[in-house]
Amino acid sequence: MEVREYLSKLERNLILGSGRWVANFNESFRDFLLGGYSFAMMVRGSTRSGGFFLSRLFATLALPDYNVACFVYAGEVKKSTLQTIVGLLRKYMQENDIRWSWLVVPREGPFSEGLKDAVSRMDFREIGVALLDLTSGEIHTNPHMGRKMIRYVRF
Amino acid sequence: MMRRIAPLQIGRLGKAFSFAFILMSFIWGVISFVTFGDIYVSWLLLGFNLVVSGLLAFILYRHRYHITLVYDAEGFELHEGTKVIAGKWREFNRVSLFHRGHGDLCVRLYYKEHPEEYVELPASALGLDPSEFRFEIMGFVRGKREG
B1 within some domain = no
Question: How many C-beta neighbours within 10 Å does residue A24 have?
Answer: 22
**Record: contact B97-A31, CB cut-off 8 A:** no
Half-sphere exposure of A136 (CA within 13 A, CB side): 9
The whole-angstrom distance between B103's CA and the closest CA on chain A is 7
**Pair B19, B78 in one domain:** no
Contact B131 A11 (CB under 8 A): yes
Q: Is the domain of B116 the same as that of B127?
A: yes
Distance CA A72, CA A134 (A): 13
Chain B residues within 8 A of A8 when measuring between CB atoms: 131
B114 within domain boundaries? yes
Provide the angle, in degrees to the nearest 10, between the axes of the packed helices A79-95 and A113-120: 30
Chain A closest CA to B62's CA: distance in Å? Answer: 26
Which tens digit of pLDDT belongs to each residue from A30-63?
999 999 999 999 999 998 776 677 777 877 777 7
Asked, for residue B101, whether it belongs to a domain, the answer is yes
C-alpha pair distances (Å), B32 with each of B18, B40, B43, B48, B88: 21, 6, 15, 15, 53
Same domain, B81 and B117: yes
- The pTM for the full model equals 0.88
Residues B54 and B85 in one domain: no
Per residue in B83-104, pLDDT tens?
999 999 999 999 999 999 888 9
Residues B60 and B105 in one domain: no
Q: State how many domains chain B has.
A: 2
Q: Which residue has the higher pLDDT, A118 or A65?
A: A118
Band (pLDDT 50/70/90 cuts) for residue A125 is confident
Local confidence band at B147 (pLDDT 50, 70, 90 cut-offs): low
B contact set with A (CB within 8 A): 94-101, 103, 105, 108, 131, 134-135, 138
What is the extent of the structural domain holding B115?
A: 67-146
